[in-house]
Chain A
């Protein structure tokens, strides 16, 4: 049956109360781009909607102790244009700027983006690669989950029904950091990613102290090949190392097929774009977005 109630709590506690009043039928709505769309497609039939957009505690971007905290209902446009995020995690700002179109970015929120767990969306890979963590609040308290572990399947997350994403924290980089997010579209400029690659290295005197490469849009969850990354440690990131990591990623990931590419094509593109992403953050950087 159709939705009966729309409430706009002003605090997180009120939101829980509203959710608890309709434990089976309440749905949290922030920007609404995903929720309304799914309602229109009959994929979702909530009996009440709890709008969290007006909760001040969930909104805005602030830096403390080197950690940038992004409130869950901050829009993707706000994240993309935030000087703090751009300075601190430019690949995250870039990934947010590449989602959908300006209208979606003006409405969709970062917390909502993560909670939706869309396999082809851009921010999760970029957030995971820079080691972002997600603060989740629920009636039983607060917990933190690395973004890399938040998404568990197609449109599935570790979030329990009454839990909310409160904020996303971008940790302070250790040493010199370089990072990039590449989105490869195989069809129109408006397409979602065929392959999305986020790469990040932390350097210590020119050598890789820590690295992460996260591939999105190729499977139900974010993909990485930790063994290949381990080999990078202590090395200089050069073309050979980039190529080697790229080959390892292509071999390790079992990609899916959809209208944007077959599994075998995606495997090739994983190799191409992991290599390109890493090459962009080597000293001999160059190249553009796909």
Chain B
């Protein structure tokens, strides 16, 4: 953020972002989405519906997906935030989920895709969710893609559930 002559009082939000400690001054009413994009330089998290229904602003909070557009930065104090950048390993080594998307060409305009990969990642690592296409599909219902790339996304998911039975393999890059 280049211009922050804020009148509003600020507070320190200290959280872990993709494995690294992050201490940021934020407005009290600043959303996590704003903080990530405007202060932490994250581009994969994108706001568009503003009400938590479209999923493009998905982040993993302590491993579980939440909408950063309706989460305050103040609320994640002391917690772990993961974005698509963090799903990848060092030097942007793609995670298995990301690789599956690339392999299947599961993207069009790509605005929703990083969030989609986070949701797939979370679904595959959720012990409550069965590791099958149907369950992952339900998990993805709140991540909207207007281009209609869903069939290719489901192909990527099918690859993932059939090829990698162990959760850890997919989770190795999550910090």
Contact = CB atoms under 8 A, between A and B. Distances in A.
A2, A33, A103 — most chain B CB neighbours (10 Å): A103
B75 A53 contact: yes
A264 interface: no
Contacts, number: 89
A101 interface: yes
A9 interface: no
Nearest to B77: A8
Interface stretch (B27-35, B82-90, B103-111, B158-166): B27-35
A107 to B, nearest CB: 5
Interface stretch (A34-42, A164-172, A211-219, A255-263): A34-42
B142 A100 contact: yes
A interface residue count range (under 10 / 10 to 19 / 20 to 34 / 35 or more): 20 to 34
A2 B8 CA distance: 7
Contact of A3 (B29, B65, B77): B29
A101 B9 contact: no
A33 B75 contact: no
B61 A106 contact: yes
A103 B52 contact: yes
Interface in A163-194: 189-190
B67 A104 contact: yes
Interface string B120-133: 00100000100000
A104 B51 CA distance: 10
A102 interface: yes
B27, B58, B70, B144 — most chain A CB neighbours (10 Å): B70
B65 A37 contact: no
A73 to B, nearest CB: 12
A29, A36, A40, A189 — most chain B CB neighbours (10 Å): A36
Interface of A: 2-6, 8, 29, 32-33, 36-37, 39-41, 49, 51, 53, 77, 81, 100-104, 106-107, 189-190
Given A29-B72, A32-B71, A51-B74, 16 more contacts: A4-B8, A4-B9, A5-B28, A6-B28, A6-B72, A32-B72, A33-B70, A37-B51, A77-B64, A100-B142, A101-B52, A102-B65, A102-B142, A104-B67, A106-B61, A106-B65
